[in-house]
Structure 1
Amino acid sequence: MNAMDAAEKKRKTIIGLALVATLIAVVLVEEEEEATVDSAQPVAPKKALRTATGKSSAQAVQNDNLDVGQLGQRKFDPQAGELFATTTWAPKRPQINPEQQAIIAKKRAEAEARAKASPPAPTPPPLQFKYIGKAIEGNRIWVFLAQDGENYIARIGEKIDEKYRLDTVNDESVTLTYLPLNAKQTLTINDQQTGRF
C-alpha cells in the first residue's frame, strides 16, 4: 500500500510540474507578442520627388487625393464584342421559312388528330388450338383439341379453358367464340386430320 502511495505522489508531482511549466510558457509568449505590437512604428508618407534641376515635379503627388477625371475614358475595340453580354452554349435555332412552318403545322395537326381519334377496337388473339379429331354418337359430337401440351374434349355449347366456347363443327372447320370479346373464330380442319372414332 505504501509503494502505491509513493507512486501516486510521484505521478501527481510530475503532473503538477508539467502544469507549472506550461503556465510559464504561456505567460512568456504573451509578453513577447505585446512587445512586438508596441515596437511597430507608423510609416511616414514619401516626400515629393525632385527632378535633376531640384524643382518638384508637377506630375508628382500634389496632394493625397488622385483626380479620377485625369484618367480619361478607356475605349474598347468593337470587334471584342460586348463585355457584359450573356453567353449561352446552346446552339442557335435555324431560321424556318414559311413553307417549313406550314409543313410543321400540318404534321402537328395530324398528330393531334391521331391522338384524339378513338383507339381501334380490340381483337381476339389468334387461335392456338390444334384439331385432333372428333367423335360422333347419335346426335352428340365431341371435338378433341390441343393447345400448349394440354388436350381438351368439348361438346357444342361447352366452354374450353374458360375463354372459348365451342359453337359448331363440320368436316371443314370448327367455330369457337372468344368469350371476353364475344368474337367468333374459325379453326380450319385439314383433310388428313379428319377422322371418326
Structure 2
Amino acid sequence: MSSKRKDTQRQTRDRLVAAAHASIVEEGVAAMSIRNICTAAGHTQGAFYSNFASKDDLLVEILQSHIQDEVTLLRDLVAHCAGDDIETTLQVLAARLAKLAEEAQWSLLSIELQLHARREPAFAARHYEGKAACHQVFAGLVSDLAERFGLRPILPPLQTGIGLYALWMGLAVQGEVEGAVPRDRMLVGFFRALMGLGVPGTERA
C-alpha cells in the first residue's frame, strides 16, 4: 500500500472515529448507528467496514483512545508539577480523575462494552485487548509517580494501574452516594495506600 493511500485511509478512519465520538456525546451510545456515523463523516458504509469489523470494534477503539489521551494528560500534569510536593501532585491528579468520572457517556460506554463482552465470546477478546491497553497506560502513570517522588508502591505498577482503573471506572458508574467522601478524596486515599504513603504529615516507615 502506498504512503498516500495509507494517509487517505488514516484520514477516513479518523473522521469515522470523530463522528462516532460526537454521536456518543450528543445522543448517547444506544442511539448511535453506523449509518448516521457514516453520514456525519461523509463516507459510505463500505468505507466503515473497510476500517472496522463492527460498531463494537469502533466503540472499543474510541474508549481506548479516550483513556490513553486522558492518561497522557495526567502524565503531563505529573511532569509539570513544580517542586517535590507529592500531596499537591496527588490533589491535581485526583481532581482531574474525579472530573472525568462525571462524564457519564464514558462510563456508560464502558458498561455496555463490558456486558457485551460477557455475552459474546467473540467480542470478549477484542474488549480484553482494549482493557489491557488501558491498564498499561495507567501503569505508566504509576511508574512516573514512583520515579518522580522516590516512592515504593506496594504492588507492581501494572497491578496498581489495574486497581486504579477499576476504582476510577467504578466511581464513574456508581455516581454520587449519600454519606460517601467526595470522589477526589477517595482517589487520593487509594493513591496513598498503593503508593506506600502514610497519613499526611507523618513519616513513612
Same fold (TM over 0.5): no
Larger radius of gyration: 1
Which has more strand, going by share of residues?
1
Which has more helix, going by share of residues?
2
Q: TM-score, normalised by structure 1?
A: 0.18
- Larger relative contact order (C-alpha < 8 A, sep ≥ 6)? 2
